[in-house]
Amino acid sequence: MIVEEPKVDSLSDEDYVIFKAKYALKTDPILAKTWMITAKTLYPNNFSVQFEAYLVEKNAKNIKDAAKSLSEIVSSFQQHSELWKEIDAMTSALRLDHDSLDKDNKFLCDMFKYIPSDIQHQILLLTADRCEDTMEHCRLLLLLLEKFPHTISTHAPKLVDTLMTAEKHSHFGNQPINPYRRLLVCDLLTLLGLSNAKIDLPAKLMYKLLNKAIEYYLCCIAAPTSVETEPGDMPWNKLFNVLELTGRILGWDPSLTSFDQNWNKENYWYKFSSFFKTHKTMLVDDVIIKQIIYSSTLFFLYCLHEYTALSQNSTQFTLVEAFTDASLPRVVMETTKSSKRRKIEEDINQPILTIDKPASNTALTNFIMAANCWEMLHSSEIIQREFSKLTSNLKLEQSLNNFILDFAMYKGHYEDALLRLQEDRPVEPIAVLTRNLRIASILFFQKYYGQCFDQIYAIIKTLQRNQMGVLSQNLTVGGIQRHLHFLPLNYLTVVQYCVRLIICGIKDSINKNSINKIPVFNDLALGCLLVLIQLDWPQQEDILPIITSTITQRGTFHYPLLQKHVVNVDILEELMYLWTDQGGNAVLDIFLTPQSLSNQRRIGTRGADKGVKEDFKQAMRRQVIRSNDPIDQVVTNFILGERVHISQCLG
C-alpha cells in the first residue's frame, strides 16, 4: 500500500526537513533518522530541529541517542519552555521510588544515566535555581548532592540555611514533625553523615541542627504511627549518625560519638565514664561540656527508651523493693549475655536487681546504664545545669517522671519517692496498681506496716483476676544489701508480692516484741502465717517448722479461722501430727462444728472424749477435701475478710 505524501508547499526549509523525518518514521525508522541527521547538520542553531531530533530518538526508545541529543540541547538552548517541561519530567522521575516507576519514568531515569556528568550537574542545578517552590528547590538540591557528593561542601551549607529559614517561616509553628524538618534531618543530615566530604559549618549551627534532630527523632520514637517512615527506618541509628557527624565537624573525641553496628552499652559506658573522669577538671571548656552533655544525654535517652519499652510491653513490670536472706548464697548480678560477661561486684551500697522471665536481662542493663548516666549528669553543678537546660528545650520533663521515681527507689531515697507518688493521681487501672505497689513497697521498708497493709488491701480489693501469670522465684535472694525486683504486673505475682510483704511484716513485728531475743508468737499471728504461706508453697515452707515448734512448746493452738482459710494438705498433715500422741498431743482449737455454727461451738481436743476426737478427724478430712480450692482466692479472701486480725498482727 502506497501512502500519499500531503502537500508541503507552505513549510519552511527547516520545518520541511522535520516533516520528512516525522513522516518517514511511520514506515521507515532508518530513513527518518537519516532526515534528522541531515536536519541537525544543516540547522545546528535551530531549537525546533534539535528538539525534534531528540523526540524522534525518545519515541524510538533509543536511550543513548536520546541522552546525547538532550545533552546537546541543554548545552546550547536553555530558554525554551519545551525543554524545561522535559527536564522537569526527568527530575521528577529521578525523585520517585525506583520500584514504583512506570515505563515512561523508567526510560527518563535510564536516559539520565547516559547524560555526561557535567551536563547532569548543570541540569539539576539549573532546575533547582528555576524552581519557585521552596520545597521542590530543596529536594532538587538534595538530589544534586546525592548524585554529586563532591558538591556537598559547596551546596550543603546553603541548603541547610534554606531549610531552617523555610521551617521558621512556615505555618507549622513549633511542631517538630513537618516536611522541612524531615528533609533537613532525615535526608540532608543523613547524607552528610554518610559522606566523607569536608563540611564547614559553625559550631552554633551544628548545635542547632543536633537539637532539631534529637527533637524530631524523639517525636518519631514517641509516636511512630503518626510519622511517615521508610521500611527499615531506625530513628536511633540515624540520631547516632547525626551525633557522629556533629563530632566529626567539631573535632570531638571519636570514642564518644562512635556507635557502629556492634557497639556494646557497657563498653561505651566504660569509655564514657573514663572520659568524664579524665576531663572532670576541665569543665570550664565549652567544647568538653558539649561533648559530655550531648553524648551522655543521647546514650541516657536510648537506654531509657529501651528500658521503658520493655517495662510497658506485654510483660509489664514495675520496680519495687524486695527481700534478702543472709542465710542464702550471695547473688552476683549478670547484666549482659556477651561471651565475656561483666559482673557487677556485690557492694553493700549497690542494690541487687532481679527480673523474672520472659522479661529480659536487657531491662536490667538498660536501667543500670540509664541510672549511671543520670547520676553522672547530676554529679557536677555545671553539667547538671546544662543537662537541665537541654531537657527543658527538648520538653522531656514529663517523660522523665517515671524514671526519676525508679532512680529514687534505686538509691533508697524513700522520702523523695513517696512524695512524688503521693502527688501523682493516675486514672488508668495499671497506673493506679503501679502507684499502690510502689507506696506499699516503700512503707514496708520504712517499717510502717499498718499503712503498708492499707495499700495492700486497696490493691487486692481492686485487682482483676486476669493475666494470671506465674509465681516469681526471685522475690527473695541471698545477701545483706538491698534487693530491688522488677515485679511483673500479673495477678499471681502481685498477690504473691503483697502476701510476702504481710508475712515479713508479721515476722518483724513479732521479733520486735521478742523476750530475750526469743520471738513471742501469739496464736493470731501463727494462724495468719499458716494461711499466708499457702500461696507461695513450698517456697515458704521454712516458716512451718517455726510455727509447729511454737505450738509444740506451748501444747495448745487456738485459731478457729483455720477451718475457713487453710486447705494446704502438707500444713493440715503437720497439724494432724501435732494432735497425735507421737506429735506431742497438742490441744488444737481450730474447727467450728458444722452443725452448730450459729452458737460458735468449737471442736477442740482438750480433754477430748472418743466422740470429740472423731469429730476432729472428720473435720480434718473435710478440710483436706478442699485442697483443690484455688489457693490464690483462699488467700485473697482471707486478706479482704480478716483485715482487722491482720492489722493486729502487724502491730
pLDDT for position 51: 82
- Same domain? 511 vs 367: yes
Domain assignment present for residue 143? The answer is: no
Non-local CB neighbours of 133 within 8 Å, separated by 6+ positions = none
Domain assignment present for residue 145? The answer is: no
pLDDT for position 405: 94
* Residue 184 one-letter amino acid: L
pLDDT band at 504 (very low <50, low <70, confident <90, very high): very high
Measured in residues, the chain has a length of 651
- Same domain? 458 vs 344: yes
- The percentage of residues in the chain with a pLDDT greater than 70, rounded to a whole number, is 86
- Same domain? 535 vs 388: no
Domain assignment present for residue 144? The answer is: no
Task: Using DSSP, state whether 320 is helix, strand or coil.
Answer: strand
- Same domain? 448 vs 347: yes
Q: What is the CATH number of the domain that holds 18?
A: 1.25.40
The residue from 494, 520, 546 where one domain ends is 520
When divided into structural domains, the chain yields a total of 4
User: 62 burial class (0-12, 13-18, 19+ CB within 10 angstroms)?
Assistant: middle
From residue 267, alpha-carbon distances to 241, 263, 450, 470, 627 in Å are 19, 8, 45, 35, 53
Q: Over 70: is that where the pLDDT of 8 sits?
A: no
- Same domain? 378 vs 468: yes
* Mean pLDDT of all residues in 181-208: 91
Domain assignment present for residue 35? The answer is: yes
* Mean pLDDT of all residues in 177-199: 91
The residue from 489, 520, 551 where one domain ends is 520
Number of neighbours of residue 363 by Cβ within 10 angstroms: 23
From residue 147, alpha-carbon distances to 73, 113, 126, 400, 447 in Å are 21, 10, 15, 42, 69
Parallel, antiparallel or unpaired: strands 483-488 and 587-589? unpaired
- Same domain? 544 vs 578: yes
Parallel, antiparallel or unpaired: strands 333-334 and 343-344? antiparallel
Domain assignment present for residue 69? The answer is: yes
- Same domain? 126 vs 23: yes
Q: pTM of whole model > 0.85?
A: no
- Same domain? 498 vs 544: no
pLDDT for position 592: 59
Residues β-bridged to residue 589:
558
- Same domain? 199 vs 290: no
* Mean pLDDT of all residues in 243-256: 92
Q: What is the DSSP string of 45-58?
A: T-HHHHHHHHHHHH
- Same domain? 443 vs 301: yes
Q: Over 90: is that where the pLDDT of 517 sits?
A: no
pLDDT for position 332: 60
The residue from 197, 219, 251 where one domain ends is 251
Give tens-digit pLDDT for 523-558. 899 999 999 999 999 888 999 999 999 889 888 899
Task: Using DSSP, state whether 487 is helix, strand or coil.
Answer: strand
pLDDT for position 32: 72
Q: Over 80: is that where the pLDDT of 247 sits?
A: yes
pLDDT for position 388: 94
Q: Which of 101-115, 274-288, 382-396 has the highest mean pLDDT?
A: 382-396
pLDDT band at 212 (very low <50, low <70, confident <90, very high): very high
DSSP class of residue 424?
-
Range of the domain at 209: 152-251
Domain assignment present for residue 135? The answer is: no
Residues 219, 210: Cα–Cα separation, whole Å? 14
pLDDT for position 333: 57
Q: Over 50: is that where the pLDDT of 111 sits?
A: yes
Domain assignment present for residue 140? The answer is: no
Residues 589, 603: Cα–Cα separation, whole Å? 6
pLDDT for position 597: 36
Number of neighbours of residue 614 by Cβ within 10 angstroms: 12
pLDDT for position 227: 55
Domain assignment present for residue 259? The answer is: no
- Same domain? 569 vs 651: yes
The answer to whether residues 154 and 186 touch, using CB atoms and an 8 Å cutoff, is no
Residues β-bridged to residue 355:
486
pLDDT band at 334 (very low <50, low <70, confident <90, very high): low
pLDDT band at 359 (very low <50, low <70, confident <90, very high): low
Residues 468, 451: Cα–Cα separation, whole Å? 27
- Same domain? 122 vs 14: yes
Distance of CA 314 to the CA centre of its chain: 13
pLDDT band at 618 (very low <50, low <70, confident <90, very high): confident
Residues 29, 504: Cα–Cα separation, whole Å? 97
The answer to whether residues 502 and 386 touch, using CB atoms and an 8 Å cutoff, is no
